[in-house]
Amino acid sequence: MFAGWILKAGEANGTTICCEKGVIKMFEDPTYSVTVQKADGENMFIQAGQIQTNEAGGQSASGVIDAFVTAVLAGRKVPVTGQDGGQSVSAILACVDSAKGKKFVRPAKV
């Protein structure tokens, strides 16, 4: 598994997730944002928008930062909490541990 935000010209900028019942590829097909190749041979193709890039015009606002700032300034609960982010990191670390140990690893509760 590789997770990073530094990409040099010519490198792959997609994500491949190998699962028990197939493979999910994100932003690796020029036409479809997500492709799913099931172990039974069925293929699914999903168009979900383009990947963010550092090229001119390659960035678009997702609204996440704007919603966070608006909530903080208004004294409201933020839509994505630190606990949410921590749980995402826990899931990623469980994937890394699973790959290293070649066994199922349940993400820790945050």
Q: Which of 18, 38, 14, 37 is nearest to 26 (CA)?
A: 14
Mean pLDDT (whole number) for 88-107: 89
pLDDT exceeds 90 at position 4: no
Mean pLDDT (whole number) for 91-104: 88
**pTM listed for this prediction:** 0.52
Q: Which of 34, 33, 32, 37 is nearest to 21 (CA)?
A: 37
Task: Tell me what pLDDT residue 5 has.
Answer: 53
Express each pLDDT in 62-84 by its tens digit.
788 899 999 999 999 999 888 99
Task: Tell me what pLDDT residue 86 has.
Answer: 92
Express each pLDDT in 17-42 by its tens digit.
888 899 999 888 888 989 999 999 99
Instruction: Domain ranges for the chain, please list them.
Output: 14-50, 76-110
